[in-house]
């Protein structure tokens, strides 16, 4: 089972394996989902070299960072990249986003649909391109 906490706008704020006496803020709701925690957490994963939920560092210059997108059962998923929405096509639930390392800066990738996916854990990817 998975416990989901939503904010006042209905977006997923967080989720956990079991409720441990959570105190909700005004407008928040709590719901129990019959999906096992690991399966729920893996509904959307943004990975670099198989690692998710970590800061990824890359050198500025020529080259790219490939962010693997895993979203089982979906044909596409929208990802917010620094405020820009990119629709990622998926084949068998798998796709990719290519980030340029040409210029130093930080890329923050997160799901657009916060009512379906939580912007935490492996559903968020931060890539820092350094000089």
| Residue 101 CA, distance from chain mean position | 21
Ordered mean pLDDT values, 10 residues apiece, the chain (131 residues): 96 93 94 95 97 94 96 98 98 98 97 97 97 91
- Against a cut of 0.85, is the pTM above it? yes
Q: How far is 100 from 62, CA to CA, in rounded Å?
A: 8
Task: Determine the pLDDT at residue 123.
Answer: 97
**Domains of the chain: which residue ranges?**
1-41, 44-131
Helices (H), 19-109: 37-41
- Residue 70, burial from CB neighbour count under 10 angstroms (0-12, 13-18, 19+): buried
Task: Determine the pLDDT at residue 41.
Answer: 95
Q: The domain 44-131: what is its CATH number?
A: 2.60.40.10
Task: Determine the pLDDT at residue 31.
Answer: 95
| H/E run at residue 52 | strand 51-52
């Amino acid at each position: 089972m998975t416990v989901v906490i939503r904010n006042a706008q209905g977006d997923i704020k967080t989720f956990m394996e079991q409720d441990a006496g959570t105190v909700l803020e005004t407008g928040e709701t709590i719901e129990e989902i019959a999906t096992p925690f690991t399966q729920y957490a893996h509904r959307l994963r943004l990975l670099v070299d198989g690692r998710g939920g970590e800061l990824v560092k890359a050198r500025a210059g020529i080259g790219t960072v490939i962010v693997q997108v895993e979203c089982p059962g979906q044909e596409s998923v929208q990802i917010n990249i620094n405020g820009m929405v990119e629709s990622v096509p998926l084949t068998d639930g798998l796709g990719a986003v290519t980030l340029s390392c040409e210029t130093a800066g930080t890329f923050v990738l997160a799901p657009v649909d916060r009512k379906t996916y939580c912007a935490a854990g492996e559903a968020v990817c931060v890539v820092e391109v350094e000089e």
